[in-house]
Amino acid sequence: MKLSAPLALSAFIACSVVSQLLLKVAGLHAAARTGLMGKFILNPWLYASLCCLALSLPCWIYTLRRMPLSAAYPWTALNYVLTPLICVLLWGERVSLWYAPGIACIIGGIVLTTRSSHAEQRHAYR
């Protein structure tokens, strides 16, 4: 089965977001413990986060083998949208009203940069 570049890119973004969420849990775990052993060395959430991060790297490399970096990289900004929104849902974290226009700017930036890289690619192959 051949994996598509957009699917690999989606897997990379998902692994990155999950890794950040697990780091949050690792921080909560560490806050409830004392000493280096309890906070870090024996923190299973920290290792789970590192595993997700390690899983994301092959997805990113696979993506870059099939897409230009200029087309793939803007999509990684979705981490800045998805991670905090999921934190709101999971932990009731608060975001200000300024967050909505910020999200709009990020998504607008993704659309603009992705469109421009597609247009340049079409022009380059003519």
Place 125 in a pLDDT band, splitting at 50, 70 and 90: very low
Amino acid code (one letter) for 61 = I
- Which one has a higher pLDDT value, 37 or 67? 67
| DSSP characters over 61-117 | HHHHHHS-HHHHGGGGGHHHHHHHHHHHHHH-----TTHHHHHHHHHHHHHHHHHHH
Place 124 in a pLDDT band, splitting at 50, 70 and 90: very low
Give the model confidence (pLDDT) of 76-109 as tens digits: 999 999 999 999 999 999 999 999 999 999 999 9
Predicted structure pTM score: 0.86
pLDDT attached to residue 123: 47
